[in-house]
Amino acid sequence: MKPIKVHLSVTDALTVNVHIDVFKLNGFKVRASSEDGNTNCFEILSLPYSKKVMFDVNDFHELL
């Protein structure tokens, strides 16, 4: 899968950083992206799936 870049608000970025393990446990592999020095950018490297259903970025935002 090609990494999906997401730009988050400051509070959402802080939430991801603090609770990165929760995202991993839910199947979202996420890493910080230092695009142009912006610390609010992340890359989603993998998305979860269950019973032939693949989750997407909207599910990431819902979990957030």
Residue-level pLDDT at 13: 92
Residue-level pLDDT at 24: 93
61 band by pLDDT with thresholds 50, 70 and 90: very high
pLDDT digits (tens, 9 = 90+) for 18-39: 999 999 999 999 998 876 666 7
pLDDT digits (tens, 9 = 90+) for 45-57: 999 988 888 899 9
- Cα dihedral across residues 64, 60, 9, 37: positive or negative: positive
Q: How many CA atoms lie within 13 A of 31 on its CB side?
A: 6
